Each structure stands twice: as C-alpha cells, then as structure tokens.
Amino acid sequence: MKLSVLDLVPVRTDQTTSDALAATTELVRAADRLGFERYWVAEHHNMPAVAATAPPVLIAHLAAHTERIRVGSGGVMLPNHAPLAVAEQFALLEAAHPGRIDLGIGRAPGSDPVTSWALRGAAGRDDSDIQNFPRYLDDVVALMDGRGVRVPIPNQQYVLKATPVAQGAPQLWLLGSSMYSAHLAAAKGLPYVFAHHFSGHGTAEALEVYRSEFRPSDVCDRPTTFLTANVVVADTTDEAAALALPNLQNMARLRTGKPMGPVDLVEDAEALELDQGMESLVDSGLARMVVGDPETARKELEALAAQFEVDEVMVHPVASARRGTDPRTSPARVRTLELLAG
C-alpha cells in the first residue's frame, strides 16, 4: 500500500499565514524523506483555518524544497480560472520539476458564493462555467500537449500552447465528491479520486461507476484511483483523539453554518462546552476518521484500501498542536507521517 499526503495548510490560533506555510514546508520535507508517493495541496478561499488558496504558488514552493516526491493540486477548482492560465501554470511547473507534478482538477468553487463571484465575476465569467466544465477540462489537456490547440480565426489557424516547447505534461487527475465526476472521469479516461475524506459517503458507488464505465484514453489506459482519509496517529489512541478534536469541532461548525475560526489548540478545544448537536457531529466525524496508535491506524488504512480495492491511500493529517508548540512547526502532523511510515 502506497501512502500519499493531502494538505490544506491549516492555520492554528497561534499561527500567522507565514507560520502555517513554514509548518507545511516542514511537513512536505518529512513526506519526501519518509518515502511518501505524492503530496497534494487544496484550493480553498476566504477561510480563516485554511491557507491553501493558490495551489500553483504552493506547489512551486514545495517542489523547490523537496527532491523526489510528486507534488500537485488536490485540486485546482477549474470554474475559478481560465483554462489557459491553469495549463500555463502547470506546464511551467512540469518544466521546472519534470516528472514530479500532478494536476488534480475539481468542479466545485472551493469557496462561498461571494468569494466565487469575486474570483470569476471580474473576468466576466458566471455560473454557466460549471456547465462548461467538461469543455474546459478538454482545453486544459490540449493546451498542455506539445501540439497545442488550433483556434479557427478568419484566414488562418491560430495555434495556442501553454508553453513553447513541452517535453512532458503533468499527470492529470479528476477529483470529485459526486456521481457526476465519476461518470465524467470514466467517459474521458482520466485518473479519478473521490473525496472520501470529506464525508465518507458515496465512495463505493462512485468508484463502481468509474470502473464499470471507464474508457481507455491517451491519458490513461485503465481505471486509476486511490483513497483519501482524515488521519491522526500518535503514540496512544487517547493522544490521537485529543489532537483530532480541534479539527472535528471546526468541521462541526462548518456543517452547522457557525463561524469558523483558525484551528484551536488542543487545550482550548478540550475546554469548550458543546451543545448536543455539535457533540453528535464531533462523534460522527471521529468515527469516520482514522485515529489511533500506529498499529491501529495502519490496520484501518489497510482495511480501507482493501474495501475500496486501491493500492494507494492519501492521508489528510489533521492533528492540531498543544500550547507552547513552536508556531512555525506542526509536530503532531509530522509525527503522524513518521508513525505511518514505520
């Protein structure tokens, strides 16, 4: 079973954005050193607890601070961006770090409606871009190809390319949390990842649709997928549960429409008195996570991989920190990777 990492660049209450980025740099170096397969960063906007707003910028930074691990997006939310801009950014990343760049693309906005408008409205784009998603996806693939795209204009065929001379292209993945993405990935013959870490529901159905409907393509000749999971590993199960609590509380706030702040420190999360509804959401979230000591966590991850018939698991390490931790570090997240790597 191969292991990879998903990172939203969490911001704790004791951190600035600069601190959070320093902690993520420490984490990707650990993943590189420990032999993890790939390291993806997400795209979210206007969220106090998340500093991952611009995947291409983050990927350039992380790839420059590592040696062998694949670095990519999990994912770029394509409706927020012009296809040519995405193709150019990732073609340049691939040129700078050949054979190490993944381009995961998603259809969701990754933000609230006001932020989506701010991202897309100024360029004259609107919600119709969601309907145009399959075409935009094709455009990104074609633009990164060395042959480029021929644009018909009067009296000539204009050739448009992401970079002048492409020697290779990033590995493209389609991401999703609905059946729509499973059908689309299968139809276009793309590698596919369902966001199992987000809710834990619908994964088996989506992967079954993807595998049964898959059509081979130039990008991928067989169904290719892996599993994502929220994970906290510590020396004891009790410590792992304590480290997971701040993230669980923030996710409960998100699901109930309550204001989300930066991720609490463990002591502050433990001191909170939650109403019954919030407690129930925290408990159900904990049940969907992989939280425990190294042996327990490895067994649970292996069981998930067997259940969904995948040979790779992407772990989302969501451990917070205790008071007194250096703000520019995230020792519990690093420890999760170290204990999983054995």
Tens digit of each residue's pLDDT (9 = 90 or more) over 304-322: 999 999 999 999 999 999 9
Report pLDDT for 108. 80
Report pLDDT for 154. 85
- Between 303 and 125, the more confident residue is 303
b/e for 300-320, b at 16 or more Cβ within 10 A?
A: bbeebbeebebebbbbbbbbb
Specify the amino acid at residue 251: M
pLDDT tens column, 152-190: 888 888 889 998 888 889 999 999 988 999 999 999 999
Report pLDDT for 110. 65
For residue 42, is it within any domain?
Answer: no
For residue 117, is it within any domain?
Answer: no
Structure tokens at 80: 């927020």
Task: Please give the tally of structural domains in the chain.
Answer: 1
For residue 86, is it within any domain?
Answer: no
**Do residues 24 and 39 make contact, with C-beta atoms less than 8 angstroms apart?**
no
3-class state of residue 72 by DSSP? strand
Instruction: Write down how long the chain is.
Output: 342
Q: Is the preceding omega at residue 75 within 30 degrees of 0, hence cis?
A: yes
What mean pLDDT value characterizes the chain? 93
pLDDT tens column, 28-80: 999 999 999 999 999 999 999 999 999 999 999 999 999 999 999 999 999 88
DSSP state of 177: S
Flag whether pLDDT at 124 surpasses 60. no
Report pLDDT for 131. 78
Report pLDDT for 186. 97
For residue 255, is it within any domain?
Answer: yes
Report pLDDT for 103. 98
* Cα separation, 306 vs 88, whole angstroms: 38
Flag whether pLDDT at 257 surpasses 60. yes
Report pLDDT for 165. 85
For residue 216, is it within any domain?
Answer: no
**Do residues 310 and 226 make contact, with C-beta atoms less than 8 angstroms apart?**
yes
DSSP string, 268-305: HHHH----HHHHHHHHHHHHHSEEESHHHHHHHHHHHH
For residue 146, is it within any domain?
Answer: no
Other C-beta atoms closer than 10 Å to the C-beta of 120 total: 18
Give the residue among 8, 73, 1, 71 at the shortest CA–CA distance from 39: 71
DSSP state of 10: B
Flag whether pLDDT at 122 surpasses 70. no
Q: What is the pTM of this model?
A: 0.94
Report pLDDT for 55. 97
Mean pLDDT for 258-266 is 95
For residue 97, is it within any domain?
Answer: no
Residues 274, 277, 282, CA angle at the centre, nearest 5°?
70
For residue 93, is it within any domain?
Answer: no
Q: Which domain holds residue 320?
A: 8-36+229-342
